[in-house]
């Protein structure tokens, strides 16, 4: 049996490198010569950028998993288990998950078997005979059950989750079996975020019977689903994105570690300027006010509209988590010195600004504006949003415990 199998890595449908699986379950990523020598090459990731702006080409081999940039393209948790079982692939062997899922990855990346459709050697003795590359193309990173979908033409409308083939321009987030009303919660928080000036994609709540192709085997679902337009898909083709776990070269399991919001802010200030910094502070303050304790590294992303320069992507995964995690007001990451939302005051923001090399005046003014806009929008809209009373009550009780809520009012 051959000891080596290869995946071609394509970027905007152009080959830029290979992932090679070696004996001993090791994986090596290497850029090809044409990409390395191209002075106008599109940016794959800031993690491959050295201190002088050059391309890092010496990348450490990994054991069993693939390098962090590629590992973060794969789904996690129950989504990974579900897709791996359907594909007949061991969920821990990431090279073969990429082989199965690689044609509908986030951003402008796609991954193709170099040897065509043949099963890669050494994938798993238990792989079924009908396993084939990209049999399932729902490789949207994250934990929640979510699928790429097409918008249906005609009077019926609705969305279709394809059985095979490259996914569409919408993401469908199905209701949680653990927590009630999560799609409604996210729809409401994203709606308010848009009202107070944040950039959000088009979102809709959709009845489950308006979604064709919901796969079998995911259990009983209750409530509505959330449909979100994919900001990495346009009529002109894909737009590249990367999350901050990729930016910092952190594996998905470490998305709650290894960096702070000040670290994220510094990158955004450097790469996306004041406009990016303002948008970041808005989302950070808003997340504290609504009690969103899950803004980890993978819930912040950069987007590359011109293929080279980074901007902060539209917002996503804005959810009030405090109704489900009662008594827990801890953020996913340190702001600068603390994770406690009850300690997020103007002084903590000043410390974050200094650490991130952002103008203090800009940070405080943006935070104050966000607090004021939130107070107005929340009071006006809380009774009109599809929120359970328990969620409204949790946010009402929580927001005043964040010092910024009164300090900057």
**Which tokens in the block code for residue 313?**
């992507």
236 given a catalytic annotation: no
Q: What is the mean pLDDT of residues 212-230?
A: 84
Mean pLDDT of the chain: 89
- Asked if 120 and 99 count as a contact pair (C-beta separation under 8 A), the reply is yes
- Asked if 49 and 69 count as a contact pair (C-beta separation under 8 A), the reply is no
Q: How confident is the model at residue 243 (pLDDT cuts 50, 70, 90)?
A: very high
Which of 243, 294, 317, 345 is catalytic? The answer is 294
Decide: pTM greater than 0.85: yes
Distance (Å, whole) CA 218 – CA 252: 23
The whole-number pLDDT of residue 144 equals 60
Our CA angle for 146, 209, 154, nearest 5°, is 95
Domain 239-407 sits in CATH 1.10.1070.20: yes
**pLDDT at 348 > cutoff 60:** yes
In this prediction, what percent of the chain has a pLDDT beyond 90?
Answer: 67
317-to-62, 286, 298 alpha-carbon distances in Å: 30, 13, 10
Look at residues 185, 188, 144, 190 and name the one whose alpha carbon lies nearest to residue 323. Answer: 185
The whole-number pLDDT of residue 315 equals 98
Say which range, 3-7, 151-155, 364-368, has the weakest mean pLDDT: 151-155
CATH 1.10.1070.20 range(s) for the chain read: 239-407
Q: How confident is the model at residue 308 (pLDDT cuts 50, 70, 90)?
A: very high
**pLDDT at 319 > cutoff 90:** yes
Say which range, 90-99, 127-136, 193-202, 282-291, has the weakest mean pLDDT: 127-136
């Amino acid at each position: 049996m051959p000891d080596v199998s290869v995946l071609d890595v394509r970027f905007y449908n152009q080959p830029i490198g290979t992932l090679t699986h070696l004996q001993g379950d090791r994986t090596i990523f290497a850029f090809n010569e044409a990409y390395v020598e191209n002075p106008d090459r599109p940016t794959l990731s800031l993690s491959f950028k050295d201190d002088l702006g050059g391309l890092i080409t010496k990348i450490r081999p990994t054991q069993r998993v693939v390098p962090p940039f590629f590992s973060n393209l794969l789904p996690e948790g129950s989504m990974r288990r579900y897709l791996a079982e359907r594909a007949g692939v061991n969920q821990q062997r990431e090279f073969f998950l990429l082989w199965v899922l690689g044609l509908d990855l986030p951003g402008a990346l796609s991954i193709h078997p170099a040897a065509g459709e043949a099963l890669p050697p050494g994938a798993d003795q238990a792989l079924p005979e009908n396993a084939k590359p990209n049999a399932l193309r729902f490789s949207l990173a994250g934990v929640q059950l979510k699928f790429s979908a097409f918008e249906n033409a005609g009077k019926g409308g609705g969305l279709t989750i394809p059985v095979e083939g490259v996914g569409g321009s919408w993401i469908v987030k199905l209701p949680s079996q653990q927590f009630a009303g999560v799609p409604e919660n996210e729809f409401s928080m994203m709606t308010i975020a848009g009202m107070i000036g944040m950039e959000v994609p088009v979102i809709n709540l959709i009845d489950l019977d308006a979604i064709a192709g919901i796969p079998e085997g995911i259990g009983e679902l209750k409530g509505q689903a959330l449909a979100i337009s994919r900001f990495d898909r346009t009529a002109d083709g894909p737009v590249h994105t990367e999350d901050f776990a990729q930016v910092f070269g952190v594996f998905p399991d470490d998305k709650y570690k290894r960096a702070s919001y000040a670290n994220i802010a510094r990158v955004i200030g450097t790469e996306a300027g004041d406009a990016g910094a303002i948008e970041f502070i808005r989302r950070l303050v808003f997340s504290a006010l609504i009690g969103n304790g899950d803004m980890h590294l993978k819930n912040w992303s950069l987007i590359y509209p011109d293929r080279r320069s980074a901007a902060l992507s539209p917002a996503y995964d804005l959810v009030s988590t405090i109704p489900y995690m009662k008594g827990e007001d801890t953020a996913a990451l340190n702001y600068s010195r603390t994770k406690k939302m009850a300690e997020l005051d103007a002084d903590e923001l000043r410390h974050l600004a200094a650490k991130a090399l952002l103008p203090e005046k800009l940070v405080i003014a943006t935070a104050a504006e966000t607090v004021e806009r939130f107070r107005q929008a929340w009071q006006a809209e809380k009774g009109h949003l599809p929120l359970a009373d328990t969620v409204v009550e949790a946010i009402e009780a929580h927001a005043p415990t964040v010092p910024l809520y009164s300090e900057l009012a």
